[in-house]
Structure 1
Amino acid sequence: MKLALISDIHGNSVALEAVLADIETRNVDQIIVLGDLCYRGPEPKQALDLIRALNAKVIKGNADEWVIRGVNQGEVPDKALELMKMEQAWIRQKLSDADVQYLEQLPSELSLTYGNMSIHAFHATPHSLFDIVLPEQTNEELLMKLTANRDADLYIYGHIHRAYMRVVNGKTIINSGSVGLPFDGLNQASYAIVEINDQSFITSHIRVPYDIEQVCKQYEANNYPNKEMMQQIIRTGSN
């Protein structure tokens, strides 16, 4: 069984198309989408349509929750709140009621079993769509925040836009990074592969180049309300 883990597309359909094309070459059996499908990208509708057309397992991220009900005070820095509300309103105008209903009904976590391998999948943590768990945190912090809620062999999440894998006390933790907005300084789409065999499994991270300037032009052409900042993130691969 070969799984592709994709997350944090953020309305970047050009990057998503490049990742899906790469996945096609790798004989993947199942795609798992770890949330944040539309918000902050120049083509939210196109990205969502691509995800909905897949035979994939999809969970909700914090940005999907923002699309549904708006951005609340305390969830982002105060100085960014009004701008992010403008972005949310712009994105809602691009989506249909059915699109928003689709986001609303997404689960916040998945428990999956493939052969002898059990997987717990979520966007940020099992308890929250918003908490931030970084790769440099201590073993104790990772175990408490990511693994204490449910016993599994593999824990997979997104949200932080930084790809990594660590094994802590026999538990494998993997973050797939971000398809649409990587924050690790490499401006290429990121996703992960997990290949499960009878008594073993292999994890790997894949980086996929895509047409960055095309996406930057889309922000311009579509008159995105925060286009300069988003173009900078796209070009540099960092926030």
Structure 2
Amino acid sequence: MLRRVRLLCLSDIHGRVDALSAVLAVAERRGYSKILVAGDLCFPGPEPLETWRRLTQMQAILVQGTGDRALATLDISKVVPKSPHERSRLERLSEVRTELGQLILARLGRLPTTHRMNLEDGSELLLVHGSPVDPFEPFCHDMTDEEMAALLGDDPADVIVCGGSHVPFDRMVQGVRIVNVGSVGEAPGGEGAGQGFSHADVTLLETSIAGVEVEQIAVPLGKAA
């Protein structure tokens, strides 16, 4: 019988444990063996600490996203906000830091920017928030193949699982399969930040010696999710 391994691939949870719970409920009904999370774990959502606890309890494989790096390293005292929105984000950053505490902030700061793993068919998967050239510069769904190729670098792996841009897609560029898993916590198409999001994105990646199959699912959320 053909051995299959199902990977649960997530990104951009942004501290929304309610949305995380919704996608996990769907994934658990389908079954999976490992969880891969392409960064932006805790900021700016309402439950950063519980989000971190859930991910670590499940022994998820985590890489660092832009928000994770900001939580761990940004010197707020040196940032001058240019708008009320930026001021609000900095205030929320400070609040999330307080809730997480220094130990977790240090762990966020030590997260790797990439993770590589071998798949059953002999190919290699690269988990990254953004892209191989720059872990914090994402592939976007509306980029041309040429624009995406410029972000592949010299050793991109066969399959790239990434996030950052919040819009899921599955594209082949120069022989590399780029799977952007979208966003759990801030998927576009909802009512906007602070007013709820209509759905959360989850990707199931099934691997076997026959190759890789990708299924991308939009999990409905209530208005208060």
Task: Please report the TM-score for the alignment, with normalisation by the length of structure 1.
Answer: 0.82
Deviations for 1:32-80, whole angstroms, at most 9, x for unmatched residues? 011111101011111111111112211010000111123779x998324
1:176 paired residue number: 181
Map residues 37-56 of structure 1 onto 2, 5 A cutoff. Answer: 37-56=41-60
Q: Which runs of 4+ in 1 moved over 6 A?
A: none
Which amino acid in 1 is paired with 2:199?
A: Q
1:135 paired residue number: 141
Cα pair 1:162 1:183 within 8 Å, conserved: yes
1:148 paired residue number: 153
Question: C-alpha root-mean-square deviation of aligned residues, in Å?
Answer: 2.3
Which is worse superposed, 122-131 or 2-11?
Answer: 122-131
| Aligned mate of 1:57, from 49, 58, 61 | 61
Which amino acid in 1 is paired with 2:95?
A: W
Go from structure 1 to structure 2 and tell me whether the alpha carbon gap of 1:29 and 1:130 turns closer, same or farther (over 3 Å shift).
same
Alpha-carbon distance between aligned partners in 1 of 2:96 and 2:218, rounded to the nearest angstrom = 27
Alpha-carbon distance between aligned partners in 1 of 2:123 and 2:75, rounded to the nearest angstrom = 37
Go from structure 1 to structure 2 and tell me whether the alpha carbon gap of 1:3 and 1:98 turns closer, same or farther (over 3 Å shift).
same
Which amino acid in 1 is paired with 2:182?
A: G
Sequence identity percentage: 28
| Aligned mate of 2:70, from 48, 66, 87 | 66
The answer to whether residue 136 in structure 2 is matched with residue 125 in structure 1 is: no
1:224 paired residue number: none
Alpha-carbon distance between aligned partners in 1 of 2:62 and 2:137, rounded to the nearest angstrom = 19
Task: Please report the TM-score for the alignment, with normalisation by the length of structure 2.
Answer: 0.87
Cα pair 2:156 2:176 within 8 Å, conserved: no
Deviations for 1:112-162, whole angstroms, at most 9, x for unmatched residues? 1122121111101224343243111111111111x2241421111101110
Paired residues, what number? 213
Greater share of helix? 1
1:89 paired residue number: 94
Gapped regions of structure 1 (runs ≥ 5) = 216-239
Cα pair 2:114 2:135 within 8 Å, conserved: no
2:108 paired residue number: 103
Cα pair 2:133 2:153 within 8 Å, conserved: no
Alpha-carbon distance between aligned partners in 2 of 1:162 and 1:71, rounded to the nearest angstrom = 29
